[in-house]
Structure 1
Amino acid sequence: MGKNVEVERLTNEATSVVDECLFRLGDNVEKMGDFVEKLKKLKTEVEAEVPNHPSIETGDVIVEHYAISKPNEKTVNNPTKVGNKGNITEKEHNKRRKSEKEKALGVKKKQKKKCSFCGVKTNLHTNTTCPDNPNARRKPKPIVS
């Protein structure tokens, strides 16, 4: 058995003994108090015998448990911050960002609908704005080339 295995076994046994004692004394407050005082006294004696406890720094724990050394300089860095799609930093704050697919396909044109007055398929006018309709309530949209 190696040194670390024996230390681990004794640590587990000590923890088990203390747990068993606490379980048995759980209902008796007076005896539980005496037990705690004995533990404190034992702790003081151990501290007097072994004044410098082993180092518990992260690097030392890694070396002890995994048998590797802590590197002198870090080789892995945090990732760079990535802007979300909705976080627009361009001049056009009112517009949304377009996906690459949308840019490649171009803006999808509106589907042309049939005017119910003249029957022409167009996006420029409807029945209420048809230039042929004498009772049209609004003027049609101007034609933009």
Structure 2
Amino acid sequence: MVWRAWIDRLVEWWCPKPWSTEVIENDMRAGGRSAMIMRGPNGEESAMEGVFLEVVPGERVVFTNAFTVLEQHLVLFDCRLKHIMTAVFDGLDGCKVIDTVLLQRLKDLPSVVGKGLRDGNHTDLLRSKP
């Protein structure tokens, strides 16, 4: 059940409300591309792109995810902040997510934490209940 929600309802929980998500590509297979744009209520845009490292349907998905730059409606990789996310699906109702955040510079950490990265990710995942 949680696996299906992860796959089928991605746009409902990927970013915090009142933001919305547009999926550009979600090729869920090892080596497949993930690209999406999050849009804020005042016209803000934040793009993300990554690659699926491992996909075991119904059991586990591991992927990278990095904020990117939008240029002429193309998502261009910009690796200032990169995530490696691992989601392990436990039975019908459970899921454990490990989000490893990689920064190019340690001095950027207070800024990232100050922008609500931890709380935002936690809230989005809680909202994804089927």
Q: Which has the higher helix share?
A: 1
Higher relative contact order (CA 8 A, sep 6+): 2
With the length of structure 2 as denominator, give the TM-score of the two structures.
Answer: 0.20
Q: Which has the higher strand share?
A: 2
- In our comparison, the structure showing a higher alpha carbon Rg is 1
